[in-house]
Chain A
Amino acid sequence: MTTPLLEMKNISIRFGGIKAVDNVSISLMPGEVVGLLGHNGAGKSTLIKILAGAYKADEGEIFVDGKKVEINNPRDARAQNIETIYQTLALADNLDAASNLFLGRELTTPFGLVDDAKMEAESRKIMARLNPNFNRFSEPVRSLSGGQRQSVAIARAVYFNARILIMDEPTAALGVHETAMVADLIKELKSQGLGIFLISHDTREMMELCDRVSVMKNGQMIGNERVEDVTEDDILSMIIMGKNPKRDAA
């Protein structure tokens, strides 16, 4: 068995008296898509925010390529090529697409000034690949449609050679056509060997896109199954009841 691309071991985090994530372990292989499922407040978003550096875990360890890494802030996560597409998109609405795409990692001229022209040129290249209809490069992203904003957020995660990609509800704001584009993108990135965490409420979509699904409830990991081993009903019962029917049967 090859070394997992990523392992999170025995992760816990408390907010006040509540254990938002309680002793959770999860792994990700290269070229694998793992779906994270669960109700709102089950701890999925908190878990991936720990990986993205937005929160710091109280307990637990993170390994990339088998090596232990410290992720204390978003910069550390980016340094490990961990990129995140947040549910809220995390865009600065007053800035244009290129400024958002390169936020925190601006291209600069030899004088150390930000090179807007170069960033716009690079943005045009990546957007031509992700969303060929996108042409509103000089407007603040607040004036863009939901789908266009989503493309900017996705472009930001994909542009910087991510190895581990976290997608938190990437299709929630999208129409049918755009959702299909995101699904194609996930398949393409998977074939390039990226590991992807996908969070969604759409069980059918998850069954189609993921290799494995992990279900959380009340901060705990309920089940971690290969997609071909479970039915949609099994997953739903894990989400709702907090019980793994396969494990109970065994």
Chain B
Amino acid sequence: MTDSTEPTGSTPTQSPRNFIQSLELDTRLLGMIGAFIVIAIGFSIATGGTFLTPRNIFNVTIQTVSVAIMATGMVFVIVTRNIDLSVGALLAISSAVIAMVQARWLPGYFGLEYGSVWIAPLAILSGLLVSTLIGAFNGWLIGYQMIPAFIVTLGGFLVWRYAGWYLTDGQTIAPLDSTFILLGGAEGTLGEFWSWVVGGLASIFAVWSVYNARKNRVSHGFPTKPMWAEYTIGGIFVVAIMGFVATLNAYDIPKGKLRRMFEARGEVMPDGFTQGHGLPISVLILIAVAVVMTVVARKTRLGRYIFATGGNPDAAELSGINTRLLTVKVFAIMGFLCGLSAIVAQARLQAHTTDIGTLDELRVIAAAVIGGTALAGGAGTIYGAILGALIMQSLTSGMGMVGVDSPLQNIVVGGVLVFAVWVDIVYRRKTGDV
């Protein structure tokens, strides 16, 4: 009945373990990365190397962002044993609001001139507000009124897209504010220098995180990984971050566009001047979302309650967790992220169209599920969902490049979804995870 059995200071000796186990990496993550590498190399061979050019990597990246942002929110929704079929419709209505605010209402009713610095922020805020409120409303119907999430969001799937249709009278709205379209991808990038700076800071942060996690465990006398494993993990992070930045920097901005950029500043482009795109602002938004959502999932009470509720709703309630309010919060977060995706998607297309985000609900759910989120609830990761979105987009883009026509593309993507979930089920059965 004393504390003497507690390991203090010395770490317990561990049985010899193999390379992968020592790194303590998630085997599911390794599987997904493996699948992604196979897809990338396969398409690279099939396209004679075009698939893995900096240009295509850049394009696939910016095409992934919108679905990936929403997929991180879908993880929380599915982890709490719910589903959201209305994310594409929420994206559409907030896109409609954003477009109307910047192109019609602010200039029309409030007399702001086109090009005013206020247009983009106000449009963005109204879009985020609308989608967050609709998300919270969905959550209220589900949590407090006990209507199944499937029904609420199936209804929302029809309601919100066409509510957006009435806002714009079914019109395509363009052109958009010039500041706003910087958020879409190719139009707004950091350039080479600042991309290196961001990459460097991210690398330092990654190494610091690894160091800090170890220091924390040592200070409590908990078992730790071998030192070489920590170095390997840190090294992988740095190489991956810097490699990504180098690739995006290697994709040069076209000459004509560069010349216009110089002319816009009243300068003349020097001969032989080149400049890489670097990190797109939309990718920075996705990275910020990924970091914040991961911190929420792992390090906040909200995240802890989301996973506890998914694992055992009764236990969560008996522990004093307000699971109804939690549902509202989860769907409000989902709504907010739909608004964010609307900004990125609309800015990338440089127009609001009534069919923006069509079928995104299925892509988002597929990304989360391919990324290891269990529909039974209680399990899922943010990085998995983003990787899932990237795998889906790579498949679609790659097939497009190879010349697979669009009906067959859909057949393949559908098949891959079912196959991925089957592999996951077999894996869980083998390892005993649920």
Contacts and interface: CB of A to CB of B under 8 A. Distances in A.
Interface of A: 52-54, 73-75, 78, 84, 86, 88-95, 99-100, 103-106, 108, 112-114, 116-118, 120-121, 124-125, 128-129, 132, 142-143
B1 interface: yes
B3 A106 contact: no
B415 interface: no
A116 B307 CA distance: 15
Given A74-B317, A103-B319, A104-B321, A92 B300 contact: no
B320 A104 contact: yes
A78 B321 CA distance: 12
Interface stretch (B183-191, B214-222, B329-337): B214-222
A94 B6 CA distance: 25
B304 A103 contact: yes
A50 to B, nearest CB: 13
Contacts, number: 97
Contact of B316 (A78, A84, A103): A103
Contacts of B216: 117
A112 B5 CA distance: 31
B6 A125 contact: yes
Contacts of B316: 92, 103
B311 interface: yes
29 contacts: A52-B318, A74-B320, A75-B320, A78-B320, A88-B314, A90-B315, A90-B318, A91-B312, A92-B315, A92-B378, A93-B312, A93-B378, A95-B304, A99-B308, A103-B304, A103-B316, A103-B321, A104-B319, A104-B320, A113-B299, A114-B300, A114-B304, A117-B219, A118-B220, A124-B6, A125-B6, A128-B2, A128-B4, A143-B432
A103 B311 CA distance: 12
B278 interface: no
Contacts of B299: 113-114, 116
A60 B96 CA distance: 55
Contacts of B320: 53, 73-75, 78, 104-105
Contact of A92 (B4, B7, B307, B432): B307
Interface residues on B, range: 35 or more
A86 B309 CA distance: 17
Contacts of B372: none
B3 A129 contact: yes
Those 9 A-B pairs whose CB atoms lie nearest each other, nearest first: A94-B311, A104-B319, A92-B311, A75-B320, A94-B378, A90-B315, A92-B308, A113-B299, A104-B320
Contacts of A105: 320
Contacts of B311: 92-95
B379 interface: yes
B5 A103 contact: no
B434 interface: yes
A54 B319 CA distance: 10
A100 B308 CA distance: 8
